[in-house]
Structure 1
Amino acid sequence: MSIKLYRRILNNRSEIISDLRKFPDHTSFLHVYAKDIACWSIEIRWDYENDAELMNLIYITRHLQNKGVPNLGLTMPYIPNARFDRVNNYDEVFTLKYFAEVINSLHFDYVNVLDAHSNVSLGLIDRVRQIDVAPLIQKAIDDFSPDVLFMPDEGAHKRYSKMFDLPSTFGIKTRDWRSGEIKDYFLAEQNLVKGKRVLIIDDICSRGGTFYYASKLLRDNGATSTGLYVTHCEENIINGNLLNKEKSGIEQIYTANPLWHRDMTTSVYSPLDEIKVIN
């Protein structure tokens, strides 16, 4: 179940029993088994898997508001449509903007998010608060013990490099917007990674082409080994080469928020502990 409800009492919270099922025609059949909720502070936790869940979020939120819940928050670690934070061609639909409008129409008292893809998402969502991602990345650093941190682009370098004392550098890439194909990729500081263990850090991984090329780039410039931390990891990673050590050269992959629920059968992939909301 990707949507859960919690009663918040000071710094503690207890799960509210709910049931999210479907009728044979695939419409929602929902129950919230809680009485006297009109005096409760409630938090909805949405661990995104697909867009269809948005309808259940709307139904449950409206139900709780109609019951008179005085304080209602949303924790949504991953922001759906976060990648589509700009429109470059006339035929492209600005899905992030319209998704944010739907979330804003629900009038949550706060919206907790983890490692937003860009400031555009943060600017579009009302009363948004960022969960601190540094402790999660630190777990990957503690396990992998890198000498140098690498971010796939300058924007990611600005976000993450100041969080840690380790030396860091970034890649400079040219990408085709429509196809997503990387045209050119090179290191900002070539001498920094020679003879070093390097941990690649970024916010999201799909198939993982960027990280595949990043690992190759680092090893071509003398890195002895590479690892990868991504906050959000899509199931599409299994369709790329990242989980194959021989092809990718990546020794270990860490993620804080897998965007699906299934067991991974490879020792390369390491989901970190459940995300802790830090207010």
Structure 2
Amino acid sequence: MPTITEPKLIAGNANRPLANAVARRMSMHRGMNVGLVDARVERFNDAEIFVEVYENVRGEDMFIIQPTSRPANDNLMELLIIADALRRSSAARTTAVIPYFGYARQDRRTKARTPISAKLIANLIAQSGIERVLTMDLHAAQIQGFFDIPVDNLYASPIFALDIRHHFGDLDDVMVVSPDVGGVARARELAQRIAAPLAIVDKRREKAGEVAEMTVIGEVTGKRCIIVDDICDTAGTLCKAAEVLIENGATEVHAYTTHGVLSGPAIDRVSTSVLKSLVITDSIEATPETKGCPNIRIVPTAPMFAQAIINIWNGTSVSSLFDHETLTPIYEGLYSGG
């Protein structure tokens, strides 16, 4: 069997800029050029997906970079078909790097006769020949248990903590806010990282997509509030929460959200809201509208994913990337002087 000399990257069409950025970062780390494996991922006239890998991958350690974001079904099928192509080409091991794991919100049965789609997707991924998954900020931690293969779940909070320290200066008047009770653990983790107090916005829904009322648990008067969440879809809840915080005496409101789905009226809502800034990662490729929105800022995840891929390939710890001391040198330059 050939000796595995370097990890190899391949990407679908879901987020090519992120894949290229990861390759560039890995080239810096490895001291040699790490490029994307030459392949084509195309569609026939009936939208059927076709994959052809042009390079020899026999015995190689392969990493597929492909978030399952919008269009979720197309991007998921690209991931599965690429994995099948690699398995049939005798790749030694295939790891799926899924920065945004679609269908994660369907992690339980909320009503009678509804699916648990996240479990179905986990089964499909495992059966495709993928042997490990690397993702970021799963909507629900228990989704890791849906897989019968190892899952490494990275967290955006260490990156957010670096960004907050760089942009906010003195943190004495900063308060971290969870937009709902379910997100308290996520918000508490960031609050601990920056030594800030925690508040909660309690929301009650009458039906999906509509928030009936919101109340603030905690004293936010005179505070610069930072709302923390994992997914921003239509931004309705986020913008409403920001309004409620301002009404309760907050001096300004910012939001840090890992996955900027930003569908439907989201961009218009954010641009006209009281939010001073919305910070998202590049786990989902930003649309021109997102890039053009004056109060949306994007922080990169490529340094973290590049280091995680190297650690998986080397057989070293991925959880070390959860520590501030480990992550700061990786982002050196981006937040220098902060």
TM-score in terms of structure 2 length: 0.73
Partner of 1:249: 274
3-state SS of paired residue (1:229): strand
1:259 paired with 2:281, answer no
Change (3 A) 1:143 1:209: farther
Q: Is the 8 A contact 2:99 2:283 kept in 1?
A: no
Alpha-carbon offset, residue 15 of structure 1: 1.6
Change (3 A) 1:155 1:199: same
Q: Is the 8 A contact 2:96 2:133 kept in 1?
A: yes
3-state SS of paired residue (2:199): strand
Structure 2 stretches lacking a partner, 5+ long: 1-12, 309-317, 319-338
Q: Is the 8 A contact 2:187 2:198 kept in 1?
A: no
1:95-114 superposed matches below 5 A: 95-114=117-136
Query: 1 or 2, which has the higher helix percentage?
Result: 2
Partner of 2:227: 200
1:75-154 superposed matches below 5 A: 75-125=97-147, 126-145=149-168, 147-154=174-181
1:221-250 CA distance string (max 9 Å, x none): 1000001111001131644653234xx210
Alpha-carbon offset, residue 148 of structure 1: 1.0
C-alpha separation between the residues in 1 aligned to 2:213 and 2:91? 53
C-alpha separation between the residues in 2 aligned to 1:18 and 1:202? 35
Instruction: State which drifts further: 92-101 or 196-205.
Output: 92-101
Alpha-carbon offset, residue 265 of structure 1: 1.8
Q: Is the 8 A contact 1:144 1:227 kept in 2?
A: no
Residue identity opposite 1:236 in structure 2: S
1:29 paired with 2:50, answer yes
Alpha-carbon offset, residue 157 of structure 1: 1.9
C-alpha separation between the residues in 2 aligned to 1:87 and 1:46? 27
**In the alignment, which of 178, 199, 210 is matched to residue 169 of structure 1?**
199
Structure 1 stretches lacking a partner, 5+ long: none
Q: Is the 8 A contact 1:196 1:223 kept in 2?
A: yes
Partner of 1:214: 241
1:221-236 superposed matches below 5 A: 221-236=248-263
Partner of 1:179: 208
Q: Is the 8 A contact 1:152 1:172 kept in 2?
A: yes
User: How large is the Cα RMSD of the aligned pairs?
Assistant: 2.4
Residue identity opposite 1:41 in structure 2: D
C-alpha separation between the residues in 2 aligned to 1:162 and 1:199? 13
Residue identity opposite 2:35 in structure 1: S
Alpha-carbon offset, residue 260 of structure 1: 4.1
Q: Is the 8 A contact 1:174 1:184 kept in 2?
A: yes
Aligned residues: 272
C-alpha separation between the residues in 1 aligned to 2:301 and 2:58? 29
TM-score in terms of structure 1 length: 0.88
3-state SS of paired residue (1:108): coil
- Larger RCO (alpha carbons 8 Å, 6+ apart): 2
C-alpha separation between the residues in 1 aligned to 2:102 and 2:187? 21
Alpha-carbon offset, residue 59 of structure 1: 1.7
Identity %: 21
1:43 paired with 2:63, answer yes
Partner of 2:187: 160
